[in-house]
């Protein structure tokens, strides 16, 4: 899961590295992963970025997520992700401790609270 993905600048780098056929046109082919969830607090960002990555729609999802709020109340399961990326977003939250707990809860490798 990529939390607080914003305009997708980090996503572009991740997707480029994860493409199964790097020589094919960007946006075609498949990614070397089962699923990539792009999330941001702004639905406008998720909608705009989903158009750019529409070629990977079978493996990518795009949805709104406020990382300061409970994940389950927003439709996300605890312990669901092998890897959680929160690039350039944690510092922008009002309660960093609560935000880090939520990020940790999303990860399969989380420690008990």
pLDDT tens-digit series, residues 19-67:
998 888 888 889 999 999 999 999 999 999 999 999 999 999 999 999 9
Where in the chain are the domains?
A: 9-22+31-106
* Predicted confidence band of residue 68 (pLDDT cuts 50, 70, 90): very high
Taking the model in full, what pTM does it have?
0.87
* Predicted confidence band of residue 83 (pLDDT cuts 50, 70, 90): very high
CA-to-CA separations, 49 to 4, 77, 99, in angstroms, rounded: 12, 23, 23
pLDDT averaged over the chain?
A: 92
Closest CA to 47 of 9, 92, 8, 80: 8
Q: Is the pLDDT reported for residue 110 higher than 80? A: no
């Amino acid at each position: 899961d990529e939390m607080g993905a914003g305009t997708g600048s980090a996503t572009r780098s991740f997707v480029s590295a994860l493409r199964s056929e790097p020589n094919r046109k960007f946006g075609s082919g498949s990614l070397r992963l089962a699923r990539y969830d792009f999330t941001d607090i702004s639905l406008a960002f998720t909608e705009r970025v989903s158009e750019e990555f529409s070629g990977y729609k079978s493996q990518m999802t795009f949805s709104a997520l406020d990382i300061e709020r409970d994940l389950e109340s927003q439709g996300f399961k605890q312990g669901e992700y092998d890897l959680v990326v929160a690039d350039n977003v944690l510092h922008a939250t009002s309660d960093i401790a609560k935000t880090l707990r939520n990020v940790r809860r999303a990860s399969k490798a989380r420690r008990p609270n």
